[in-house]
Amino acid sequence: MMTRKDNSIAEKSMAFAVRIVGLFRHLTEKKRECVMSKQVLRSGTSIGANVREANSAQSKSDFISKMSIALKECDETGYWLELLMRTKFLSQDEYLSIDSDCRELFAVLTAILKSARRVSM
């Protein structure tokens, strides 16, 4: 489990969720897109929720499980972002900007999981 001091992933995932909410608003209000925008909203905000749950984990295996779910949600978010770009709801520049944050979260979550699994073996 992580301490508050070490918890930049919680801050990063919250900042990403805020960006996702802004993207959702942009897509629904300006682009009139409702289906994919709801999917990216769900998965993109779920990352931080699972990170927060992991921080209150009852055991190392519970921590790993919640962080694994956060990683899967991050990967799913990347899928929806790419689909939104390929279907022209996001420009390439908009996509690259938010996808960069998504990839950074994915890398940090992967590193946390590798470390947690090494320690638990």
The rounded distance, in Å, linking the Cα atoms of 82 and 108 is 20
Amino acid identity at 43: S
Q: pLDDT by residue (tens digit) across 95-110? A: 999 999 999 999 999 9
**Polymer length in residues for the chain:** 121
| Average pLDDT of span 19-23 | 98
pLDDT higher than threshold 70 for residue 5: no
Largest CA distance in the chain: 50
Rounded to whole angstroms, what are the CA distances from 77 to 29, 71, 113?
A: 20, 10, 18
Q: What is the pTM of this model?
A: 0.91
Q: Which CATH class is domain 8-120?
A: mainly alpha
Give the domain ranges of the chain.
8-120
